[in-house]
Amino acid sequence: MPGLSRRALFAGSAAGATAALLPTTPAAAKPGTKAVRGCASYRAAYHFTVPDQWKNDPQRPVWIDGEYHYYYLYNADYLDGAVGTAWRLATSTDLVSFTDRGIAVPKDTTVNGDVWSGSAVVDTGDTAGFGAGAVIAIVTMSPGGGTDHQEQFLYRSTDGGRTFTPHGTDPVLPNPGVADFRDPKVIRDQANDRWVMALAERNKVGFYHSADLRSWTYAGGFVKDGIGTLECPDLFEITADDGTVKWVLGVSADGTGSGLPNTYAYWTGSFDGGTFTADAADPQWLDHGWDWYAAVTFEKRDRAGTFDASARYALGWLNDWAYPNTTPTIDCDGFNGTDSIVREVTLKHASDGGYHLASQPVAALDAYVSRTVDLGDLTVDSTLLLDYTGTSYELTTEITWSGLTGAGAQLRRSPDGGRHIDAGVYGDYAFLNRRNTVNPDTSGGRQESHTPFDLSTGSVRLRILVDRTSVEMFVGDGRHTHSSEVFPYLVDDRLALFTIGGPAVFRNTVIREFTV
């Protein structure tokens, strides 16, 4: 959806408490980005951020000419209070370092207005008639600027996906008379030699067929109630670790009304080109934090372009429509828009016979390590303040115990210990709690996220990525992850380990910093 107008800078339990705590010397700005001189920078050190103004939904990256083309919704007029989005482009060979390429699909250049979410494909077989290798983008637009007449339009590129031209002003998939009809995700159905589109239609994902990307025929749908309006559908095939091939259907959805996440819900199952049959009625969730929305998955390829059927990459927007304009990056850095780290996603066969997706940060992140602090094994009984300070880093550790109630880490802890983010395990759940630091949630209801955990196992491996405005926690094999926005004061740079109800050993404890 398009970006909204600007509003309050801070919100949360510590909002506006002590502006004097903020340093006056900014961090160095990345090339091509903007920062206000003499103002404290909250721009992420190693996560993707928009150079200026606003970004929201990621568009599925596409492999073209030896690099990933990452498109995302961008509003150049955000700070002036104007709405509407274009597609901006960044390219990358390793999904850690990105090069800005500017606007690829402009807004307001046709009578249909601005462009919303969609997807791009490389038409290697020239099915659309624009030439072999043309890049075709199918996007949602709402003629007249409203939100009640969403239709799908075609844009084409013959310069390798750098710039796009509209294919006329008529939709390739007109609205049949429904309010929600958006976010087309197009894939190639190799088995049936045709294109398939998954489309968000309120409580349904509709499936459409096309031979040429220009005209589409309805084929079926998958209905799910109870998790809000379905958005940003995803559909892909993946080979599990036991060799089984599964289809996965994903959606972004707000399940908070049912006590569920507001991130990426997914089902494993089978797909025959028109009907998706889920293995279970209820979805699993790829992230359980408060801020991993409009996520996309995309093909894993090596530098030579070889496709890996056993894994995919995933990328989410680190924000939420409950508080989209609340961030300290606006005034000092002149932007609002940060993404999660790119993750590698695999499908694992569980002991109960089911399947689940598991995530870990992209392996290429290892090439950007600028400092390593190896703390080895640490015995903790209550609280251990580490001799380390930092605002952007990765913490990995394996916690082992014989009997306790909980254990974890206090991240971005203030000098007096009063402010911190807590991450770890307690009782029968793993958790990420941002209540005791500045954060965007004013409702008080989006502070601590939970995932199931069995304390009797006696151990847990945590991998936690901390940056200036975010925390992402990977528990165990990564089946359960928690991603949330946080806005700690920049002087809150301490780190502590804690246990509750007994001692534990934090084994192979390592802190890494990154320069991107």
Residues carrying an active site annotation: 57
Q: Can you list the alpha helix ranges (DSSP code H) found in 300-384?
A: 329-333
Alpha carbon distance 495, 468 (integer Å): 14
On whether the CB atoms of residues 257 and 228 are closer than 8 A, the answer is yes
Q: Enter the tokens of residue 9.
A: 């800078």
Residues with Cβ within 8 Å of residue 349, at least 6 apart in sequence: 240, 241, 242, 244, 355
From residue 342, alpha-carbon distances to 95, 310, 434 in Å are 7, 17, 22
Helix/strand/coil (H, E, C) string of 370-404? EEEEEEEEEEECCEEEEEEECCCEEEEEEEECCCC
Alpha carbon distance 495, 214 (integer Å): 55
Q: Is 172 helix (H, G, I), strand (E, B) or coil?
A: coil
Alpha carbon distance 117, 361 (integer Å): 25
On whether the CB atoms of residues 163 and 157 are closer than 8 A, the answer is yes
Structure letter (DSSP) for residue 331: H
Q: Can you list the alpha helix ranges (DSSP code H) found in 274-395?
A: 329-333
Alpha carbon 61 to chain centroid, angstroms: 13
H or E element, residue 276: strand 276-278
Alpha carbon distance 434, 487 (integer Å): 9
Instruction: Dump strand ranges (E) for 32-166.
Output: 53-64, 67-75, 86-92, 99-105, 118-123, 134-141, 151-157, 165-166
Q: Closest Cα to residue 466, out of 352, 295, 325, 341?
A: 341
Q: Is 117 helix (H, G, I), strand (E, B) or coil?
A: coil
From residue 370, alpha-carbon distances to 136, 183, 386, 493, 514 in Å are 39, 39, 20, 18, 5
Alpha carbon distance 269, 278 (integer Å): 4
